[in-house]
A and B are shown apart, each in its own frame.
Chain A
Amino acid sequence: MNNSLLIIGRPSSGKTTFLAQFLTRVRKKKNNIILSKAPENIKAISDAQKRLAAGEEPNTTAAGSNEELVLPLVLNGNETQLRCPDYGGEQITSLLQSMAIESRWLEYVDSSDHWVLFIRPSLISSSYDLTISAYENIHGSKSSHSVTPDPSDQSQFIELVQALLYAKKTGVRKSISTPKLTLALTCWDELKTSKTPKELLQEKMPLFKQFIEANWEQSQLGILGLSAQEFSLNGNPEGSDKYLDDLPENIGYLVLPDGSLDKDLTKLVELALL
């Protein structure tokens, strides 16, 4: 049994901001999940922590930032660790482009039985096609050429999970119990929605949702919303003041499966580990 938790996500999916907020909270030792000792290296998120403390928008993680973040944690007396080997998301992009898995990722997926996949719904583009609604005045013609389109976001997420399962040597004939999969639908505040996380996933990526629900045991699959920052800090002096006055650890929320909000961001990791 490998009880470490692996954070996975494409670039700009909100991993760095969440991790900065998470570390601030677990240091306070007020939640069920706490930091067991000081992490060896937090360069990956220290800049984001400092910027949030100053009421400034965190910078986009620079390309080529390949350091691994490891947070040693304790949940209900049990030691575990959170690993984020690719907080820039570039290695995931590379995997999907090359259809090849770096050997270090084989080790990452092999040593973790809990995966949290970060998905930023506001960056998912939908397709405009014949099946979305009715069209009476379309005229068709035969194409004279053949081109490869850019893959859709939806197909990329399916391919990513298939590749990770392959690396984990986990088949899909039977429902998957290990690894446990949690989807974090990030930057929830951008969505301006009253939908539950599952409803939103159905709207944005119905085939991906069908794919994971078909393959995972219901109890081993979680779909949550996450707003680690709660609002944009770009050109938002009131927001900056709120960060300076109320402190970052009091800002941000989780959207639970029933749509209710929970200010305890550490619950994302707690629920993913249980």
Chain B
Amino acid sequence: MRKKCPTANCSAPKGMCLKLMSHEHLKCDNWSKENSSALVPKVVKSKGKTESKGLPWTGEPLQPEDLPIISERSAPLIIGMVGTADAGKTSYLGMLYTLLFNGRDIKNWSFSGSYTLSAWETLAQYLKIKHDGSIEFPAPTPSHPEFYSLYHLALKSEGIFRDVLFADSSGEVFTAWSEDIHDANADNARWIYKNSSAFIFMVDSNALIEKRGQAKSEIVQVAEQLAANLNDRPVIVVWTKSDKAEEIKEKIKKSLEEDLLNIFPNATSIKVSNFPKKDKDQLCYENNLNVIVDLLNHLNKPSRINLEISLEQANDHFIDFKGRLHE
């Protein structure tokens, strides 16, 4: 049996141990409780002495070193999730999966698979309503510079196939990066910025209500840094928690809209919410999915595809199999 840490979103042993924030997962209690042996066997004997071969994916978030799993069959589109702390980046992804899970569609695109199903399910579980009517949003994304979480969707549209990876990371890391792009603790922000084909820029409506001008200042700082070396990569501005949008002071809202228009003159701006107030709530049921439609429309042009991380060739991972299993 392939061994992996039982902690949600922990990618040990392939990636970093989430609890210790290091690659030394052998020292972690969570790992040692579940795995008496430290080795990850590639070929193991199970009951009845039958040999097994591990799948190349585990269902957990992918790490940058896992990209060959994808890039052997297509050049993946990496979408960087950018925003200040608590802006709702991880919750957005949980809602995206929840909508798909319950039968909502990404317009003109069909779900063709995912190598990170377990990770999506972990995100979606936070949006389940408890008996007391409460829900728990995801715990803050770890701000360790080497923490990577890539969530995968394979999508098809009229014969076009796309592997899409959503790169999540901590808002603190992006704030640190926005103030100093060489910050020693912003490795993952730099990786996401360098490798992403497009960006979802999250604007936290709730922070604008509670922290007002201070929140606006932080948002603009991150936005300006995002725009600095954007080239022609598309950005969509997503106003999260927009069920509260009316509570943002008009002066702050207008000023921020002006600033963002200057910084991202070509960007679409869209409001989303995770709290539907009626059965056909557009902010929740439609706009969360329209974010992806907008980006895919931009990215569905050959010139936009980021080819830098494509390793060898863009053949199908399975067709180009060469008679052996990836272990």
| A→B interface (CB under 8 Å) | 66, 94, 97-104, 106, 127-149, 151-152, 154-155, 158-159, 162-163, 165-166, 169-174, 202, 206-207, 210-211, 213-215
Contact = CB atoms under 8 A, between A and B. Distances in A.
B6 A148 contact: yes
A159 B59 contact: yes
Interface stretch (B180-188, B226-234, B258-266, B277-285): B277-285
B54 A100 contact: yes
A104 to B, nearest CB: 6
B117 A155 contact: yes
Interface string B188-220: 000000000000000000000000000000000
A207 B100 contact: yes
B154 interface: yes
A140 B180 CA distance: 33
B276 A140 contact: no
Given A155-B120, A206-B103, 12 more contacts: A135-B275, A140-B274, A140-B275, A142-B140, A146-B9, A158-B114, A162-B113, A166-B55, A166-B318, A171-B316, A206-B102, A210-B110
Nearest to B124: A129
B58 A172 contact: no
A44 B156 CA distance: 41
Interface residues of B, number: 75
Contacts of A139: 133-135
A157 to B, nearest CB: 10
Nearest to B19: A146
B121 A155 contact: yes
B95 A131 contact: yes
Given A66-B48, A103-B52, A172-B112, A130 B277 contact: no
B135 A130 contact: yes
Contacts of A213: 110
A136 B57 CA distance: 39
A129 B317 contact: no
B249 interface: no
Nearest to A203: B103
Given A103-B53, A148-B122, A215-B113, A154 B129 contact: no
A99 B279 contact: no
Given A99-B55, A169-B319, A146 B276 contact: no
A140 B126 CA distance: 10
A165 B137 CA distance: 35
B71 to A, nearest CB: 13
A147 B123 CA distance: 10
A140 B112 CA distance: 32
Contact of A214 (B52, B53, B110): B110
Interface string B130-162: 000111111110000000000000101000010
Contact of B1 (A100, A141, A152, A171): A100
B72 to A, nearest CB: 10
Contacts of A166: 55-56, 318, 325
Contacts of B7: 146, 148
Q: Give chain B's interface secondary structure class.
A: loop
B8 A207 contact: no
Interface of B: 1-2, 6-9, 18, 44, 46, 48, 50-59, 73-74, 86, 95, 98-105, 110-115, 117-118, 120-122, 124-129, 133-140, 154, 156, 161, 274-279, 281, 284-285, 316-319, 321, 325
Nearest to A209: B103
21 contacts: A97-B1, A98-B52, A99-B55, A99-B58, A102-B51, A104-B50, A127-B101, A127-B102, A129-B127, A131-B99, A135-B276, A139-B134, A140-B134, A141-B134, A147-B122, A148-B6, A162-B115, A165-B318, A171-B316, A171-B319, A213-B110
B284 A159 contact: no
Nearest to B142: A146
A170 B8 contact: no
B74 A135 contact: no
Contacts of B52: 98, 100-103
Contacts of B285: 131
Contact of A171 (B18, B55, B318): B318
B278 A134 contact: yes
Contact of A211 (B9, B111, B321): B111
B317 A134 contact: no
Contact of B129 (A128, A146, A162): A128
B112 A211 contact: yes
A165 B121 CA distance: 22
Contacts of B316: 171-174
Contact of A133 (B18, B74, B133, B279): B279
Contact of A140 (B53, B137, B277, B318): B137
Contacts of B112: 172, 211, 214-215
A134 B134 contact: no
A263 B311 CA distance: 54
Contacts of B128: 127-130
A106 B137 contact: no
7 interchain residue pairs of minimum CB distance: A206-B103, A171-B316, A171-B318, A214-B110, A98-B1, A143-B136, A100-B52
The listed residue with most B CB atoms (<10 A of its CB), out of A131, A132, A140, A211, is A131
Given A130-B98, A131-B285, A170 B318 contact: yes
A159 B74 CA distance: 20
Contact of A130 (B54, B95, B111, B122): B95
